[in-house]
């Protein structure tokens, strides 16, 4: 398993979080994400961070894996922080020529980066602790009322799960192509930063063809198994809520209410 890929992989452990119904995990994580979006005060961020840390501990996913998976987005996080620091008006703490970094910008950037990290960790916990087929089944059950509106819920659920599952596959193919190009003497790291952007163009072409080939193979596999539109298809595994699912739901609701109250009080 490539530990630099955070979303889209499943980590096999016998934890309480793994045993939860996929519907419980999906609804709980969506509620937590919505509550995390409204975080403002330092206290609310601290509570949310501690809660995520407890969930990671319960899921038995190694912390080094979770933290190592953030490496691919370090550039995005750094860019977000610099953008907020440079383009938010306030008290100037550093300036050079026309560039100015403000205290309010640094605070805003740190809050935004902190929030993004928490959201990504939550999303990764869902895929790390839920098998793709279980995730598709859970989504299908949650969205089943939409079938009355003639919405292809089965196809939509399968599409979402395949898209998530393809993230590590695409990154692994990219690593393989980069290694092949490096063996031929084409090392992107040897280029300067501006030229490195254009150096990726010869990499994107074979990557695109590989992705299309993978997608075609997947479509053939789906047709060979007579999946079709998936409507009315039964499953050997029946989803059923257990006592632990209701307990987890209560804990998530209490955490959501607590963050909401803390946000209002801090305002």
**pLDDT tens digit string along 102-145?**
888 899 999 999 999 999 899 888 888 988 778 888 888 888 88
Residue 196 has which token pair? 């490195």
pLDDT at 1: 45
One domain for residues 11 and 80: yes
The Cα–Cα gap between 39 and 43 comes to 9
One domain for residues 225 and 245: no
Q: What is the mean pLDDT of the chain?
A: 83
One domain for residues 65 and 8: yes
* Within a domain: 82: yes
Query: Residue 2: phi, psi to the nearest 5?
Result: -85, 110
One domain for residues 98 and 40: yes
* Within a domain: 139: no
One domain for residues 103 and 183: no
One domain for residues 164 and 74: no
* Within a domain: 161: yes
The residue range of the domain holding 123 is: 1-131+241-267
* Within a domain: 53: yes
**How far, in Å, are 22, 103, 168 from residue 6 at the CA level?**
19, 32, 8
Answer yes or no: pTM beyond 0.85.
Answer: no
* Within a domain: 225: yes
DSSP 5: -
3-class state of residue 211 by DSSP: helix
Lowest mean pLDDT among 26-35, 95-104, 112-121, 231-240: 231-240
One domain for residues 58 and 187: no
* Within a domain: 220: yes
**pLDDT tens digit string along 187-233?**
777 777 667 667 777 788 888 888 888 888 888 887 787 766 666 66
One domain for residues 34 and 83: yes
100 pLDDT tier (thresholds 50, 70, 90): confident
**How far, in Å, are 18, 84, 140 from residue 62 at the CA level?**
14, 32, 30
* Within a domain: 146: no
pLDDT at 181: 79
Using the Cα atoms of residue 61, residue 67, residue 68 and residue 73 in order, give the sign of their dihedral.
positive
One domain for residues 67 and 33: yes
Query: Residue 258: phi, psi to the nearest 5?
Result: -60, -45
Q: How many domains does the chain have?
A: 2
One domain for residues 220 and 100: no
* Within a domain: 143: no
pLDDT at 41: 86
**What number is the average pLDDT over the span 248-266?**
90
One domain for residues 39 and 98: yes
One domain for residues 38 and 163: no
């Amino acid at each position: 398993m490539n530990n630099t890929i955070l979303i889209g992989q499943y980590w096999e452990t016998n934890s309480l979080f793994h045993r939860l119904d996929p519907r419980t995990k999906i609804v709980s994580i969506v509620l937590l994400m919505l509550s995390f979006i409204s975080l403002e005060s330092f206290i609310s961020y601290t509570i949310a961070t501690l809660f995520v840390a407890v969930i990671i501990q319960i899921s038995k996913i190694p912390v080094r894996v979770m933290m190592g998976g953030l490496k691919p987005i370090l550039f995005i996080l750094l860019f977000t922080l610099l953008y907020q620091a440079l383009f938010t008006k306030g008290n100037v703490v550093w300036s050079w020529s026309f560039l100015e970094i403000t205290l309010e910008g640094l605070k805003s950037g740190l809050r935004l980066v902190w929030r993004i990290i928490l959201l990504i960790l939550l999303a990764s916990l869902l895929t790390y602790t839920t098998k793709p087929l279980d995730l598709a089944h859970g989504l299908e059950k949650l969205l089943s009322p939409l079938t009355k509106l003639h919405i292809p819920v089965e196809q939509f659920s399968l599409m979402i799960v395949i898209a998530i599952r393809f993230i590590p596959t695409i990154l692994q193919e990219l690593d393989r192509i980069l290694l092949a190009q490096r063996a031929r003497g084409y090392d992107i790291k040897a280029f300067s930063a501006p030229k490195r952007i254009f150096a990726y163009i010869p990499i994107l072409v074979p990557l695109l063809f590989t992705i299309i080939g993978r997608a075609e193979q997947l479509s053939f596999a789906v047709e060979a198994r007579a999946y079709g539109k998936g409507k009315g298809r039964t499953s050997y595994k029946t989803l059923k809520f257990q006592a632990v699912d209701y307990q987890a739901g209560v804990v998530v609701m209490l955490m959501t209410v607590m963050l909401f109250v803390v946000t209002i009080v801090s305002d």
